[in-house]
Amino acid sequence: MAVMHGRKILLGVSGGIAAYKTAQLIRLLRAAGAEVRVVMTRAAEQFITPMTLQALSGQPVRQSLFDPAHEAAMGHIELARWADLILVAPASADCMARIAAGMADDLLTTICLASEVPIALAPAMNQGMWRNSATEHNVRTLARRGIRLWGPAEGDQACGETGPGRMLEPEQLLHLVGECFSAGAAGGLTVLLTAGPTREPIDPVRFISNRSSGKMGFALAAAFAAQGAEVTLVSGPVVLPTPPGVRRIDVETALEMEAAVMAEVERCDIFVGCAAVADYRPAQAVGQKIKKTAQTRDIGLVRNPDILATVAARPRPPFTVGFAAETERPVEYAQEKRKVKGVDMIAANLVAASQGGFERDENALTVLWEGGRKELPMTDKPHLAQLLVTQVLINYAERHSAEDT
C-alpha cells in the first residue's frame, strides 16, 4: 500500500474488549509503511497493556493529559499537529459520547478537539448500547461534523449477545485508512447536481415555488466533494452556504436550471437531480404587478421541460440518479418514474407531513435500481448523503466494469 508510506496515524484506544485487536492493527499499519503513535484512555488499560502497544508501535504510549514529561512542551497540541489521521479503535460508547460533546477530559478527547486532521472512529460496544437513542444521537452529531464512522459490524459479541456493535477487523480498518489517503472513492469523477426549488414568476413580485430548502442537494454535493469528486451544483434560490470545494451556479426558474445543466452535462460522469423543479410555469409572466381588480383570476400553466429525463435521454448519458418525492406509495411511483425517465437509480422519498423530506433536517430513502434496492434509514441529511453517495459510487463502478467486459 504505497499510499500509506510515511503517513502519521494517531491511534486512540478506548476501553473495550476489542482493544486486543489494536495490537494486530498496529502491526498491519506499520507493515504498510505508516508511522503509529498510540494514545490510550484509562479504561483501555484494563483490556491491553501500554507495554504491548509500545513494543508494537515502537513509540512510547501516551496515557495522561497531565504528563510532566510531555506537557511542559504542550505535548497534546504537538500530537494533534503531528497526525495525518486520528483513528480511535475501539471507540467505546463513552468515548464517542465525550467526543460528540466536545469534551476534553482526557488526552485522547483533548487531541480530537484540538486537531484539524480527519478523525475516524471504529465503534465497538454491546448491541443494546449501539442501538440506544443516546448513542444514535451521538452518531448523528459526529457524522454531521464530518467524523468518519467505520463500522460497527454485526455478529456474536463478547457479552454473549448478537447484533451490531462489533469492531471492524484490523484488515478492514487498514483498507479504510488506505482509502482515506488515496484520492477518495470519487477521485477523478465529475459530478453535476441540481438542488433546491425553482421559482416560476407570475409577475415581477409573485411566483410559484415549493418547500425545498436545498439541504439534501447541498449535503450530496458536500459528500461527493469529500470523496474527491469535482462537483458542480446548480441551485435554485436557497439560503445555504456553498459546501467547500463545490462550484455553484445559481438559477431561479426551471428553464434557467435546464440551460445551466445542459451547459455542464457533456463533461459529467454522474448527474443527480435532487432539485424540486416546478413541473409547470405560468404561460405568461406579466411585466407589471397584477392589480387585485377581479374577484377570481386564473393562471394558465404550461409544462416545464423535465431536466432529469432530458439528461438521461442523451446519446451518451452520464450515470443518472433521480429523486421521487411522493406523498403515497413511494416505491411503486418511484419505480414508475425510474423507468419512464430512463434513469439508472432513483431515491424514493416519502414526503408526508409527519416524515422527513422537504425542509427537514432528517430524511429516509429507499434507493431503487434495475434488479436492486437499498433502504437508507431516517438520519440527518449529511449522513444520509454519505450513505447515498456510497451506494451511487458502487452502482456507478459496477456499470462501468460491466461496460468494460
Which residue from 123, 273, 282, 318 is in contact with ligand PMT, where contact means CB under 6 A?
273
| Listed residue (348, 21, 222) closest to 231, CA to CA | 222
Distance separating alpha carbons of residues 231 and 189, to the nearest angstrom: 9
Cβ proximity to ligand PMT: between 93 and 325 the closer is 325
Only one residue has cell 473495550, namely: 16
Cβ proximity to ligand PMT: between 180 and 216 the closer is 216
The answer for residues whose C-beta is within 8 angstroms of residue 371's C-beta and 6 or more apart is: none
Candidates 10-18, 31-39, 56-64, 211-219 — which segment interacts with ligand PMT by CB under 6 A? 211-219
343 to 382, contacts with ligand PMT by CB under 6 A?
349, 351, 357-359
| Listed residue (369, 304, 373, 374) closest to 339, CA to CA | 369
Cβ proximity to ligand PMT: between 34 and 276 the closer is 276
Least CB distance from residue 276 to ligand PMT, whole Å? 4
Candidates 110-118, 182-190, 269-277, 288-296 — which segment interacts with ligand PMT by CB under 6 A? 269-277
Q: Where are the beta strands (DSSP E) in 77-157?
A: 85-91, 119-123, 148-149, 153-156
Q: Site size for ligand PMT, by CB under 6 A?
A: 29
User: Would you list the DSSP string of 8-30?
Assistant: EEEEEE-SSGGGGHHHHHHHHHH
Least CB distance from residue 214 to ligand PMT, whole Å? 5
Contact 372, 399 (CB under 8 A): no
Q: Catalytic site residue 159? A: yes
36 to 65, contacts with ligand PMT by CB under 6 A?
none
Q: β-pairing, 270-273 with 319-326?
A: parallel
| Listed residue (156, 160, 273, 165) closest to 221, CA to CA | 273
Which residue from 16, 90, 214, 330 is in contact with ligand PMT, where contact means CB under 6 A?
214
Q: Annotated catalytic residue: which of 95, 112, 159, 180? A: 159
Least CB distance from residue 320 to ligand PMT, whole Å? 9
85 to 124, contacts with ligand PMT by CB under 6 A?
none
287 to 346, contacts with ligand PMT by CB under 6 A?
304, 306-308, 322-325, 337
Cβ proximity to ligand PMT: between 36 and 222 the closer is 222
Least CB distance from residue 280 to ligand PMT, whole Å? 9
CA-based torsion, 264, 248, 254, 359: positive or negative: positive
230 to 249, contacts with ligand PMT by CB under 6 A?
none
Crossing angle of helices 93-100 and 107-114, in 10° steps, is 40
Least CB distance from residue 275 to ligand PMT, whole Å? 5
Least CB distance from residue 249 to ligand PMT, whole Å? 15
Which residue from 95, 191, 229, 275 is in contact with ligand PMT, where contact means CB under 6 A?
275
Give me 326's grid cell. Answer: 411522493
Which residue from 21, 98, 199, 215 is in contact with ligand PMT, where contact means CB under 6 A?
215
- For 257-274, b/e burial (b = at least 16 CB within 10 A) is bbbbbeebbeebbbbbbb
Least CB distance from residue 363 to ligand PMT, whole Å? 6
Cβ proximity to ligand PMT: between 150 and 323 the closer is 323
Cβ proximity to ligand PMT: between 194 and 366 the closer is 194
Distance separating alpha carbons of residues 200 and 183, to the nearest angstrom: 40
Which residue pairs from 350-356 have beta carbons closer than 8 angstroms and sit at least 24 positions apart in sequence? 350/326, 351/325, 351/326, 351/327, 352/327, 352/328
Contact 334, 368 (CB under 8 A): yes
Does position 254 interact with ligand PMT (CB under 6 A)? The reply is yes
Does position 71 interact with ligand PMT (CB under 6 A)? The reply is no
Query: Residue 82, Cα to own-chain centre: how many angstroms?
Result: 26
Least CB distance from residue 157 to ligand PMT, whole Å? 36
* φ, ψ at 106 (rounded to 5°): -155, 180
Does position 212 interact with ligand PMT (CB under 6 A)? The reply is yes
Cβ proximity to ligand PMT: between 181 and 323 the closer is 323
Residues of the shown chain interacting with ligand PMT in the complex, contacts defined by CB under 6 A: 194, 196, 212-217, 254, 273-277, 279, 304, 306-308, 322-325, 337, 349, 351, 357-359
- Catalytic positions, written as ranges: 159
